Each structure stands twice: as C-alpha cells, then as structure tokens.
Structure 1
Amino acid sequence: MKEHKVLIIVPAFNEEESIGKTLHKLIHTSRNSPYGIDICVVNDGSSDRTVDVVQSFPEVILLDLPYNLGIGGAMQTGYRYAYENNYQIAIQFDADGQHNNEDLSTIIEPLYANEADMIVGSRFVLPTDYKGSSLRRFGIVYFMYLLYLLTKQKFTDPTSGFRAINNRIIKEFAHKYPKDYPEPEVLIYIHKKGYVIQEKSVQMQQRQGGSSSITPFKSMYYMLKVTLSILMQKVIKE
C-alpha cells in the first residue's frame, strides 16, 4: 500500500508557536502509516519564524509563498503541487494543532476504498469533546442549513478544514479553488459536479498556539460573502 501516495498539505501563516508540535506528530504518523505519506507546508507569506521552524524538519516539503495569498491561495498551491507530482490523495491539515493526526486513517481509508471522492472530518456527526465559540457554532449551523437547502445533503461541519480528496478532485482544485474561506464553497462546487462527499467523525482541539484572525466583524463579512458565492455557484451553469 506504500505506493498509494498521500500528501498532507499544511497551510501556515504566522504559526511559529504551534507548527513544530504539529509537524512532530505528523512525521510520527507518516513513518508508521501504510499509505506512503508526504508532508507539505505552504508558508503563506509569514512574517514570524514559521519558515525557520519548518526548515528544521528536513523531511517536510516547504512551499514558500513570497506574500500572503490567504487560505484559498495557499491550499491551491498545495493542490497544484499534489497534481503535478501525481499524488493520489491530498489532505488539508491545520498548522495550529486543532486537528488530530490519529484521525488521518479515518479520512484516508474511504478514499482508498473508492467509497467517496471527498471526506470531510466532522466535529458533529457524532458527539465529540469540541467546544467552540457561540459565533463559530452559529456560522457552522447557518452554512449547514444553507447547503442543505441547495444540495439536499446534510453537512454537519461545513467549515471544517480537515478534509481529504482523491486525485480527481486534486485535478479540479489545482485549476480552480476559491480564494477566501473556501471550505463551505467547495462543497457545493464538488456536489454540483457529481462527486461523492462523505463526513467522518473526528476529534478536534482548540488552537494550540497563536491567535485566530477571525473577528466578529470579519465573521459577518465572511458569512455574507460566502453566502453570495454559494448562491452564485448554484445558479451559474458551468
């Protein structure tokens, strides 16, 4: 199974406090995994020591963007690398320690078994220990119902950044990917193209270092902008 190439993409913007611990855990998992896992950090124009920390791990691939593109641009960079290097599976994994490396097999195995094209790690499909802010929980529920209204498929955790895709969607994302806050947007984009999306229960922790850039004002702006984008994707034909 080692030839089944898997790339873990870690987008990072000013994550010097937490990315070292995250990479330690991912490297340990990759060494003991049957899947042939590589780890790629996309440094999204960080102004702190994120690059220095990543470079202390010689087995980690570093893609160093000259300036900040946002999560969408960082992830598309990673997906393009995965596409150009013929990876079969790509995984989005946060640098801040929120995602659980022990859940990687949970989101890899259904893709390897051809049960789905995308797996979303969900905090809510089953009860977990996750506790988020009321504003964040409101946003999650809001997008859950909006996407259900448009797709008739229930996504319990549409803003989750812990997800895995197969090589068909890698090709899609290498050429087209939303720029800002893409997690809810890509669900309707992929659903519209007929790909199969599943959710699997995973554990997530609170951020292990640094601070979130999402303020209440940014959250409201984000919800409005993503709502309009989702609605446009629904009505516009490819």
Structure 2
Amino acid sequence: MQQLGCCVLVPTYNNDKTLARVLQGILEFTTNIIVINDGATDNTQEVLKSFPQVPQVHLPHNKGKGNALRIGFKKALELKYSYAITIDSDGQHFPEDIIVFLSALEKETTKNILYIGARNMEQSDVPGKSSFGNKFSNFWFWFETGNWLADTQCGYRLYPLKEIEKLNLFTPKFEFEIEVIVKAAWNGTLVKNVPVKILYDEEERVTHFRTVPDFTRISILNTWFVLVAIFYIKPRDFYRRLKQRGMKKFLLEDVLGSTDAPSKKAFSIALGVFIGLSPFWGLHTLLVLLLAFVFKLNKPIAFAFSNVSLPPFIPFIVFFSLQIGGWILGEPLSLSLDSITTDFDFLIHLKTYILGSLVLAVLGALVLGVIGYLMLLYLGKRKIAVNNG
C-alpha cells in the first residue's frame, strides 16, 4: 500500500451495523483509510468515534454515493495518494481481497489502470435484480467503449486518482460508478476486472439503491453515452488510429490482413458504401455500426467505407443523387454544384433527392462490393501462391 501510494476509501451512509466490522477488517491490512460519512442519520458518527486514527470527512447532508466518492478522491489526492481502493460499508466486500487489487497492479505494465471487482453473480445469495442490472450495464459499457467486462457494477474498485482528476464528472448518485468508468475508458484508462468474493447478508445489509429512480437515472445516462459514443467517440478513435497507422497500414492490416473471408469483407465494404451514400444524414455512424453488429460484419471496414460522405464529397453525392432521381421520375433537373452548395436548391426537390440517393447507394454498394471482393480474392490467391513459392 505504501509503495504504490494506495489508500482504502470507504463511503458510508446509514450502515452502522456493519461499518465497524468493515473498518476493523481493513485495518488488518492497512492504516491507509479514508471514511466519507455521507450525512448518515443513524449511529454512524458514534461508530466512527471508535476509529480516531482514521481520517474522516463528515458531510452535513446525504447527497449520494457519487458525490461522496468525488469528495473522497479529492481528500485522497490532498493526502498524496496515487490510488484509491473503494469498499462499500455494508459488509458485502472482503477486505482480504485488497491483496488481489495490489497484486494485479504490481504486475500491470501500465499504471493508468482502473480495476473493478468481478463478483460471482451466479451464487445463490445474489439478488435477481442485481444480476440483471449487471448484465444490462455490461452490455452498454461494451457498446460505449468496445471493452467487454464480466462486472461493471461492483463497488469494490481501484481508481487511478490522477487520471480520475482529469475527468469532468457530474452525477451525484449510483450512476456515478457508470459515468466514471466510461469516461475513464474514453480518456485512455485501461479498465479491467479482477476476481473478488461477495457476501449478501440480508439480515445486516442495508442497500440504498432505489430500483425505479436509480435504474431510470442509469438508463438516461447510458442513453446519452450511447449518443456520444456513436457521434463523437467512435469516429474520433477511428480517425486517431487511422492517422497513427496511415491509410496504407489500415488497408494492409484491417482489410487485407483480417482473417475474415473475402465475402465478409466485401459485404462490409458494400454496407459502408450504402450507408455513406444514403440520405440518412446524421445517422450514418449509428446505422453502419448497428448493422455491422447485427449482420456480424467487419466493423472497422464498414465504418471506414461509410466515410465516402466526407464533407468535400457531399456536394457531388447530392448532385448525382438528384440527377439519378430526376432521370427515374422523368423530371430532369438543371442544377449546378454551385446552386447545391450555396442556395441549397436541392431541398425543394427532396423526394427526387431521396429516391436518387437510395439508388446511388445501392449501385455504389454493388459496384464497390464486387470490385472489393474480386480484388480480395485475387490478392488472397496471390498470397497463397507466393507462400507456396
């Protein structure tokens, strides 16, 4: 604990039955403890008087676990700690698992790491709503970050304090524990699970999670994060990778080097081109990622080719869509690229544009999909021939 600059942070609210036992258990392993009393109205203050050696922060009013954790992180940084292990005060966590977090951190190649305890959600005393909520949370965390975890809701965690300090965190209650791991992952922190034990003693345990309001708050937060991930994070990360690796390396590794069959790659190209040329502006990223996931296609390839609609190409796409739509409807249009980009005249021919863009999208997908398939097939055979020497 000393070498790694780690403390144990215990947020507590009306858990006077279990708090003393939790603190005594932690003291068997370390004296680096900070307790945040989140405006408790039971005998918590009396219990904490028995632990004068433990730094304590007493909040006048209960504002939620997220608020208590933020205050605790700030206090830990003031005391010059680099990491904080958070333990709930309801007795469900085993203090001996502190060693699990420390051992994992010592072996980790990067110190910009956030560990979440992975509970055995199949054990008999785990409430059904906790198991369901965890699966629900795991799915959305994966969708938002691309990182699949076995447990995203466990409060037994190790936080890298200096990295957490960089984040703009707002939520005050239980949804904070979702906000912090998603934003940390988006900011480059590695988020991983470590196995921990769990105990649900219904006689002693007091939970302050209110199923309807708290689940609603978490759902609203995830809805916002999904939108941010689709329209900002995923495009940002893709362009960063593409910029770092270059187009040539992307083509060699993701397109040619992928183990996917040429047909799967070709369908991914076709999907990307179709979505990129389609009239669903503002939804291209959402649609291409969703459909690539549904049809189990190559998401990097599909996303890359959906960018045929980059801003410099948009006037040309609109122009040819209008010309095709006008030809199909027997209503040839006399528009120029200048009128499209300055006067937006195409908006009065919206039906023509939509029809033409859909036809253009289908034709573009077919042509580039077939060309891609033939090229991938040819290059695959050539590679086999070279290897066989």
Same fold (TM over 0.5): yes
- Structure 1 position 114, deviation (Å): 4.1
Q: Is the alpha carbon distance of 1:38 and 1:223 closer, same or farther for their aligned partners in structure 2, counting shifts above 3 Å? A: same
Q: Is the alpha carbon distance of 1:210 and 1:200 closer, same or farther for their aligned partners in structure 2, counting shifts above 3 Å? A: closer
For residues 227 and 55 of structure 2, what CA distance do their matches in structure 1 show?
Answer: 36
For residues 1-21 of structure 1, the C-alpha deviation after alignment (integer angstroms, 9 at most, x for no partner) is 734332111001111111011
Secondary structure (helix, strand or coil) at the match of 1:199 reads: strand
The amino acid of 1:28's aligned partner reads E
Among 154, 161, 169, the alignment partner of 2:148 is: 154
- Structure 1 position 113, deviation (Å): 3.9
Among 120, 132, 136, the alignment partner of 2:130 is: 136
1:13-32 pair list within 5 angstroms = 13-30=13-30
Q: Is the alpha carbon distance of 1:228 and 1:118 closer, same or farther for their aligned partners in structure 2, counting shifts above 3 Å? A: same
The amino acid of 1:168's aligned partner reads K
For residues 232 and 81 of structure 1, what CA distance do their matches in structure 2 show?
Answer: 33
Q: Which residue of 2 aligns with 1:33?
A: none
- Structure 1 position 150, deviation (Å): 2.1
TM normalised by structure 1 equals 0.86
For residues 83 and 177 of structure 1, what CA distance do their matches in structure 2 show?
Answer: 19
Among 192, 200, 224, the alignment partner of 2:219 is: 224
Matched, 1:204 2:203: no
- Structure 1 position 220, deviation (Å): 3.6
For residues 199 and 190 of structure 1, what CA distance do their matches in structure 2 show?
Answer: 14
TM normalised by structure 2 equals 0.54
Matched, 1:214 2:221: no
The amino acid of 2:115's aligned partner reads I
Give unpaired runs (5+ residues) of structure 2.
237-389
Judging by fraction of residues, say which structure has more helix.
2
For residues 198-230 of structure 1, the C-alpha deviation after alignment (integer angstroms, 9 at most, x for no partner) is 111110111572521224323542442332343
Q: Which residue of 2 aligns with 1:81?
A: 75
For residues 138 and 101 of structure 2, what CA distance do their matches in structure 1 show?
Answer: 20
Alignment size in residue pairs: 229
Bigger RCO of structures 1 and 2 (CA < 8 A, at least 6 apart): 1
Q: Is the alpha carbon distance of 1:86 and 1:128 closer, same or farther for their aligned partners in structure 2, counting shifts above 3 Å? A: farther
Q: Is the alpha carbon distance of 1:128 and 1:27 closer, same or farther for their aligned partners in structure 2, counting shifts above 3 Å? A: farther
- Structure 1 position 93, deviation (Å): 0.6
Matched, 1:60 2:54: yes
Matched, 1:6 2:6: yes
For residues 75 and 69 of structure 1, what CA distance do their matches in structure 2 show?
Answer: 11
- Structure 1 position 152, deviation (Å): 1.7
For residues 84 and 153 of structure 1, what CA distance do their matches in structure 2 show?
Answer: 32
Among 41, 45, 62, the alignment partner of 1:51 is: 45
Q: Is the 1:8–1:90 Cα contact (8 Å) retained in structure 2? A: yes
Q: Is the 2:21–2:91 Cα contact (8 Å) retained in structure 1? A: yes
For residues 79 and 138 of structure 2, what CA distance do their matches in structure 1 show?
Answer: 34
Among 107, 117, 123, the alignment partner of 1:121 is: 117
Q: Which residue of 1 aligns with 2:105?
A: 111
The amino acid of 2:15's aligned partner reads E
225-234 or 49-58, larger mean C-alpha shift: 225-234
Q: Is the alpha carbon distance of 1:105 and 1:177 closer, same or farther for their aligned partners in structure 2, counting shifts above 3 Å? A: farther
Give unpaired runs (5+ residues) of structure 1.
31-36
Q: Is the 1:14–1:50 Cα contact (8 Å) retained in structure 2? A: yes
